[in-house]
Amino acid sequence: MSAETATLKELCELIVDCPHSTPKWTEEGVVVLRNQNIRNGKLDLSSPSYTDEKGYRARIKRAEPQAGDIVFTREAPMGEVCLIPEGLKCCLGQRQVLLRPKNSISGGYLYWALQSPFVQHQISWNEGTGTTVSNVRIPVLESLDIPRQEGRERSIAKILGSLSKKEQVNKEINQTLEQMAQAIFKSWFVDFEPVKAKIAALEAGGSEEDALLAAMQAISGKPAGELARLQTEQPDHYTNLRATAELFPSAMQESELGEIPEGWEVLPLSEMVDLIGGGTPKKSESSFWNGDICWFSVKDAPSVGNVFVVDTEDKITAEGLNRSSTKLLPVGTTIITARGTVGKLAITGTVTAMNQSCYGAVSSDKTGPYFNYLRLSEAVGTLKRNTHGAVFDTITRSTFETVLQPRSCLALRQRFEEAVIPMFEAIKKNLLENNSLSEARDLLLPKLLSGELVVSEDDAELNGLKEAAHV
């Protein structure tokens, strides 16, 4: 790298190691940052950990994290970073270091520089012994050479940040779309709201037509006046909504799960899905690895809202596939992690193999892939509670027999699938766009930091950046 450099110590006013003790864990309180929350430059607090106020105070004696600080992971994994966002009260967990850039230094630029190949190589490689290392000592961290681009660092941070913000917007959209699909599933197949709306209308002395209108309101969330306008302005949509409402019964019946809609049945999950096992090709056989076949393990589980797995960290060859117990899962299969970290779900967005700590679950009752995913999502809590294993929590094939769910007629399940297909297709589209943005950012980062590519804030349009990345 031809750019000038400065040591990390020269660029920071604080480099503070975390307390070398385990926090007192609590169910709620102040967030404790853990290395598992920091991946690929992002802070993911979808599964937060907490300590109490006393524990928090003990852990901030050296420095209290503030917005704009950078958290650096020293090991397990090594070299991951994230920025502390505005409004987050938190403390460091273990194996972490708090970095506070000097006022004259762009914190955003330093955050990106720490993720660059130039700096990451220094982190992982011990120049003294010529070997890779598994942790970073404070003196080594302080002496890291950081590339400088005087006069352009804030622009570089803004440009790379614009790509990251677009990714975050897509991620938030995906979270909303998945929540919408889950809400519809819960309304129809867990809370039975359209059925209960029909019952309430009939009990109030209404006619069958009144009951049908009540179900249409429950399904669409529209009052009677808006439905009347819908009938006039969008007759096809109205007809489809009416046909969906007709598929819901207008009475309940007793079952081992309590009251369920009349005519529905209760079945164990094991009778509604077929399970596919996975496997791991021998790690010692180099010819089995680094191929072009995706191979899923728990580290590839998508973050909240992204749903699909479209790429994996490890890939295998056709020889590795054929000479191991792993199998190819077709597109649309739901993967569930079943050992150790249990209950993570993903839908295969591409043909994928997987390891033996997962199951592939495909519908055995003609249910569509998205209904099947949401059915399994609804079952995860029970599956996790019913795990076995002396050392690791494990979901076995017999665990699926312990989960009972009500099942409607096939026509209603197919109607639901049609309703949510656009949501899941949009999620997949946004995820693929984010992968493209991430690739562009990874290509841009070393070029911007080395000075090979010189851009200003005016060049922050995403399309232009993508083209520049491939120059």
Distance of CA 295 to the CA centre of its chain: 18
Q: Closest Cα partner for 237 from 216, 223, 208? A: 216
DSSP E strand boundaries for 283-423? 289-296, 308-309, 314-316, 334-337, 345-348, 352-354, 358-363, 404-407
pLDDT reported for residue 393:
86
Q: Residue 146: CB partners within 8 Å, gap ≥ 6?
A: 5, 6, 7, 8, 11, 110, 113, 114, 119
| Angle at the Cα of 86 from the Cα atoms of 84 and 91, rounded to 5 degrees | 45
Picking from 68, 9, 70, 13, the residue whose alpha carbon sits closest to that of residue 41 is 70
Non-local CB neighbours of 318 within 8 Å, separated by 6+ positions: 291, 293
How far is the C-alpha of 96 from the C-alpha of 73, rounded, in Å?
Answer: 5
Residue 469 is which amino acid? A
Cα 222-225-231 angle, rounded to 5 deg: 85
Q: Name which residue leads in pLDDT, 58 or 132.
A: 58
Residue type for position 431 = L
- Contact status, residue 342 vs residue 393, Cβ threshold 8 Å: yes
Predicted confidence (pLDDT) per residue in 385-410, tens digit = 998 775 678 999 999 999 999 999 99
Pairing state between β 96-101 and 70-73: antiparallel
Examine the pLDDT at 88 and tell me if it is beyond 90.
yes
Asked if the model's pLDDT at residue 465 lies above 80, the reply is no
What's the confidence (pLDDT) of residue 128? 53
Mean pLDDT lowest among 186-195, 277-286, 297-306, 357-366: 297-306
The answer to whether residues 201 and 189 touch, using CB atoms and an 8 Å cutoff, is: no
Q: Is the pLDDT of residue 461 over 70?
A: no
Query: Closest Cα to residue 63, out of 11, 98, 112, 28?
Result: 98
Using the 8-state DSSP alphabet, how is residue 177 labeled?
H
Tens digits of residue pLDDT in 26-46: 999 999 999 999 999 999 998
Of 101, 94, 89, 87, nearest to 38 by C-alpha is 94
Angle subtended at Cα 300 by Cα 133 and Cα 438, rounded to the nearest 5 degrees: 80
422's CB contacts (< 8 A; 6+ apart) are: none
- Range 5-28 average pLDDT: 97
Output the six-digit token pair for 98: 């708090």
pLDDT at 134: 82
In this predicted structure, what is the pLDDT of residue 357? 96
pLDDT(304) > 70: yes
Closest CA to 349 of 304, 422, 303, 294: 294
Asked whether residue 132 carries a pLDDT value surpassing 80, the answer given is: no
**Cis peptide bond prior to 77, omega within 30° of 0:** yes
Answer whether residue 471 shows pLDDT above 50.
no
pLDDT of residue 190: 98
Amino acid at residue number 137: R
Place of tokens 């020269």: 10
